[in-house]
């Protein structure tokens, strides 16, 4: 890297300007725009994500205080609070979703052979959703409960690298199970679902893809045992059975056989019942797979704690979705940087270093790969490390 360029500019070199402009043209993002381009808007919001800015005025003040460094950061115009607010309001959020999906495709190729703890050839995905609370008086369009507003971020996480392969943002009232109708299923892949997605008609759609699912049974799920496999109970597996559904409508929606696995967690002594349509993997592997679903929960916690998606720079649906998608793109961009530069540091540490060195004119590899700085994490940080 050129040591005369700022670290922020060196980070943005990992974004393809050609692909970015293709996204802008596809969505007419710069229709009637004269000075403040979409690239300037992205730089402003990416800077805000990396340095934890609280508001539009905060972004404007910090960037204008840099003076002549703005040009070296990559800006071609001086950012104004009103101009940025208007851009967030009127420039279509699908532009940023399209751009983020391009980065996600790059990241997934880089992390295609990443180990997630279980040796499997097929892709493994964890599906879940998280609520982002909003003030109902400021965001009346995001009604969730009687006195509460929220949007819901549905994420299909590729466990190889903890990269979100699909992100869908909906009002808080939309139930998680409806997102299964929007997924393009990958044949042979394994989908890890919690009990909120236990809808047998939709599970049969996964089965017919053909793909595999692993989910948990509810306490009132009625099953009839057909056959029991012998198990080694010292591993925690209590039973491994072939079953069919007993209820009339459940049997109508899913007439095929299922595999029921009972597992007792040796640490918590909690007894868990798993349902899957995969009859080839060992029962213990199925239990370990479901435990890996926790990575999507860590992904949500990580995003909320280390990126700006809890305080928003605008109150319109377009501004909220724009900010969430740009936050996701920054997350994926830093993950790409980590892989391309072969950095051993955690993603958490990389972001912390970037937040205080964006204006430095040193090679980015030198700033991020110094062995003299010993990483220290408290218990919470250890929980949220995704890229060890």
Determine the structural domain holding residue 350 and report its residue range.
Answer: 7-96+314-383
Q: Is residue 180 part of a domain?
A: no
Q: Is residue 263 part of a domain?
A: no
Q: Is residue 17 part of a domain?
A: yes
What integer pLDDT is reported at residue 213 of this predicted model? Answer: 96
Q: Is residue 294 part of a domain?
A: no
Tokens of 42: 């992205």
What integer pLDDT is reported at residue 15 of this predicted model? Answer: 93
Name the E strands within the chain: 124-134, 143-145, 148-158, 163-171, 190-193, 212-216, 223-229, 237-245, 258-264, 271-276
Q: Is residue 283 part of a domain?
A: no
Tokens of 333: 């961009």
3-state helix, strand, coil split of the chain in percent (to 5) is 45, 20, 40
Q: Which residues of the chain have pLDDT under 50?
A: 1, 372-383, 387-388
Q: How many domains does the chain have?
A: 1
What integer pLDDT is reported at residue 370 of this predicted model? Answer: 59
Q: Is residue 70 part of a domain?
A: yes
Q: Is residue 36 part of a domain?
A: yes
What integer pLDDT is reported at residue 242 of this predicted model? Answer: 96
Per DSSP, the three-state class of 247 is: coil
What integer pLDDT is reported at residue 68 of this predicted model? Answer: 72
What integer pLDDT is reported at residue 377 of this predicted model? Answer: 45
Identify the CA nearest to 241 among candidates 226, 256, 222: 226
Q: Is residue 32 part of a domain?
A: yes
Q: What is the pLDDT of residues 27-39, one digit of tens each?
A: 998 888 888 889 9
């Amino acid at each position: 890297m050129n040591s005369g360029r700022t670290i922020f500019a060196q980070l943005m070199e990992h974004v393809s300007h050609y692909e970015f402009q293709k996204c802008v043209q596809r969505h007419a993002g710069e229709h009637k725009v004269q000075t403040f381009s979409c690239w300037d808007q992205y730089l402003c919001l990416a800077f805000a994500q990396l340095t934890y800015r609280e508001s539009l005025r905060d972004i404007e003040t910090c960037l204008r205080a840099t003076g002549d460094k703005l040009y070296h950061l990559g800006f071609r115009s001086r950012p104004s609070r009103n101009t940025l607010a208007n851009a967030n309001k009127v420039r279509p959020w699908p532009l940023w979703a399209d751009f983020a999906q391009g980065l996600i495709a790059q990241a997934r190729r880089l992390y295609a052979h990443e180990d997630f703890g279980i040796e499997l050839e097929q892709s493994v995905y964890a599906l879940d959703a998280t609520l982002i609370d909003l003030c109902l008086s400021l965001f009346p369009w995001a009604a969730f409960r009687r006195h509460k507003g929220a949007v819901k971020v549905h994420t299909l996480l590729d466990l190889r690298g903890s990269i979100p392969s699909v992100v869908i943002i909906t009002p808080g009232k939309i139930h998680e199970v409806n997102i299964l109708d929007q997924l393009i299923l990958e044949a042979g892949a394994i989908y890890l679902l919690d009990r909120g997605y236990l809808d047998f008609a939709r599970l049969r759609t996964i089965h017919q893809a053909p793909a595999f699912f692993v989910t948990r049974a509810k306490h009132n799920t009625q099953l009839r045992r057909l056959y029991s496999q012998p198990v080694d109970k010292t591993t925690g597996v209590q039973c491994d059975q072939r079953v069919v559904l007993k209820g009339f409508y459940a049997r109508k929606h899913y007439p095929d056989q299922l595999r029921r696995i009972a597992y007792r967690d040796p640490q918590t002594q909690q007894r868990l019942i798993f349902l899957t349509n995969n009859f080839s993997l060992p029962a213990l592997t199925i239990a370990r797979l479901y435990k890996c679903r926790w990575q999507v929960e860590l992904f949500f916690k990580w995003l909320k704690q280390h990126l700006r998606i809890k305080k928003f720079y605008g109150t319109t649906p377009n501004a909220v979705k724009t900010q969430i998608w740009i936050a996701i793109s920054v997350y994926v961009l830093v993950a790409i940087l980590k892989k391309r530069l072969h950095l051993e540091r955690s993603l958490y540490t990389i972001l912390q270093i970037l937040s205080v060195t964006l204006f430095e004119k040193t090679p980015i590899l030198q700033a991020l790969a110094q062995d003299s700085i010993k990483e220290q994490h408290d218990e919470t940080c250890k929980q949220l490390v995704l890229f060890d």
